[in-house]
Structure 1
Amino acid sequence: MPTPSSPTARRLWDISPPVHAGSPVFPGDTAYSQQWCATIGPGCPVNVSAITMSPHVGAHADAPLHYDAKGATIGDVSLDAFLGPCRVIHAIGCGTLITWEHIAHAVSSPLPQRVLVRTYEHMPVDRWDAQLAAYAPGTIERLADLGVLLVGIDTASIDPADSKTLDSHQVIRRRGLRVLENLVLDAVPEGDYELIALPLKLTTADASPVRAVLRAL
């Protein structure tokens, strides 16, 4: 059986930011906090903690419920879109919106059903970025036309931070796409990979944290 150091083992890229009390959150969201309910000591053999946080902290998958009052919870969403071949496309320094021109150079056929776009040279894991890059709605429409089932991004949202209409979220609602946000793609070359980013089966939640990784094909 291959070991992690054997020639046949496939390389992994961890594309999840660290999650802790200093993790940036969307303004108004609940930051990460943790308290100890039990600690190892006389009469107690274990450490047990309680965690409070928005499910949008760190790398996460949005559920339709997040942008549709009648949408499915994350626990009811099929896992198929979150596991399988994907393409990482670089659009570093693209500005506030990822247009088709920013990614067209890497949209060759056949296009995997999952597309992750890198916009940062270095993803700010320690601060909130109000000027984050987002997808232009038309870009998601064209990706959906090509059979894409999931879009991902290395920012906190596929819509601009100050958007009140969430136009790109409404495109994925209408077209039935899934979304991953807050990925760390700094060390990932452009190209094709296997994506593994499974959400928790949270039966009433509007999103879920994921431990997102890419594996070499």
Structure 2
Amino acid sequence: MIATPPPARLWDISQPLRPGLPVWPGDTAFGEERTWSIQPGCPVNVSRLVMSTHSGTHADAPLHYDAIGLTAGALDLAPYLGPAQVITVPPGTPFATVDDVAPHWRPGVPRLLLHSYDRFPHEAWRSDYTAIDPALIDWLAGQGGVLLGTDAPSLDPQDSKDLPAHTMLNRHRLAVLEGLVLDAVPDGIYELIALPLPLSNADASPVRAVLREWPQR
């Protein structure tokens, strides 16, 4: 008889999608409406969703910041599945930098997830989030990185118009996850599973992002 190993621990690092979900100022509010209800003559419940492609925890596609970039449905799934390192940067800092990450970086782990909030703002939009210094993206690419994730809603500051971090991301063809919830996750190495939906024409996709225990070596 083959012994079954104990199940690996999981951390759900996704925002709950619900009415009242904070969204980028001016973007589409999340809405859910029951269109069919269980009753005589109807055996099922069915709902209609109204939402932005950037609702909650999501993967930007290059089309979001490049007029001829790939859509969410054309994304390579490989970067969104595999070993990832969670690193906490100083809360309240305007930009996460190489100096914040490099001393803690584990060479050979190609996915970096940045934890910047003391407590994730589930109930209200915050514009003072920690953005990403483009030099950090350049450095990550030089380390063989394939994905950068953050608990912030964007890599660039809210008032940015030239999007230097997204531009650097596009230059290196790195995947990105935004809006992760990392409050309960200790810094360390995990397996990331955060696959975008095959939305053929969309500029981004919500994801159900989880971390799974990674064997320590």
- TM-score (structure 2 length as normaliser): 0.95
Corresponding position: 1:59 with 2:81: no
Q: Name the % identity.
A: 50
Check conservation: 1:94, 1:102, Cα contact below 8 A: no
Shift of 1:105: 2.1
Identify the residue that residue 50 of structure 1 maps to in structure 2: 48
The residue type equivalent to 1:164 in the other structure is K
The residue type equivalent to 1:158 in the other structure is L
Q: How many aligned positions are there? A: 213
**Structure 1 unaligned runs (5+)?**
none
Check conservation: 1:198, 1:211, Cα contact below 8 A: yes
**Structure 2 unaligned runs (5+)?**
none
- TM-score (structure 1 length as normaliser): 0.95
Q: Aligned match of 1:114 in 111, 135, 143?
A: 111
Corresponding position: 1:197 with 2:194: yes
CA distance in 2, matches of 1:178, 1:109: 18
Identify the residue that residue 22 of structure 2 maps to in structure 1: 24
Shift of 1:173: 0.6
Alignment of 1:134-149 (within 5 A): 134-149=131-146
Question: Does the residue aligned with 1:105 lie in a helix, a strand or coil?
Answer: helix
Shift of 1:94: 4.9
Shift of 1:131: 0.7
Check conservation: 1:122, 1:186, Cα contact below 8 A: yes
Shift of 1:28: 1.3
The residue type equivalent to 1:59 in the other structure is T
Shift of 1:7: 6.3
CA distance in 1, matches of 2:82, 2:142: 19
CA distance in 2, matches of 1:109, 1:68: 30
Identify the residue that residue 41 of structure 1 maps to in structure 2: 39
Corresponding position: 1:181 with 2:178: yes
Identify the residue that residue 170 of structure 1 maps to in structure 2: 167
CA distance in 2, matches of 1:94, 1:155: 11
Identify the residue that residue 75 of structure 1 maps to in structure 2: 73
CA distance in 2, matches of 1:54, 1:196: 22
The residue type equivalent to 2:73 in the other structure is G
**Given the superposition, is the C-alpha separation of residues 216 and 178 from structure 1 closer, same or farther in structure 2, using an over 3 Å criterion?**
same
Shift of 1:142: 0.3
Identify the residue that residue 12 of structure 2 maps to in structure 1: 14
1:147-183, Cα deviation, whole Å (9 max, x unpaired): 1010000010011111111110001111100100000
Check conservation: 2:11, 2:212, Cα contact below 8 A: yes
Check conservation: 1:84, 1:194, Cα contact below 8 A: yes
Q: Aligned match of 1:85 in 83, 86, 92?
A: 83
Check conservation: 1:118, 1:185, Cα contact below 8 A: yes
Shift of 1:113: 1.0
Question: Does the residue aligned with 2:199 lie in a helix, a strand or coil?
Answer: coil
Corresponding position: 1:123 with 2:115: no
Structure 1 runs (4+) greater than 2 angstroms displaced? none
CA distance in 2, matches of 1:98, 1:27: 23
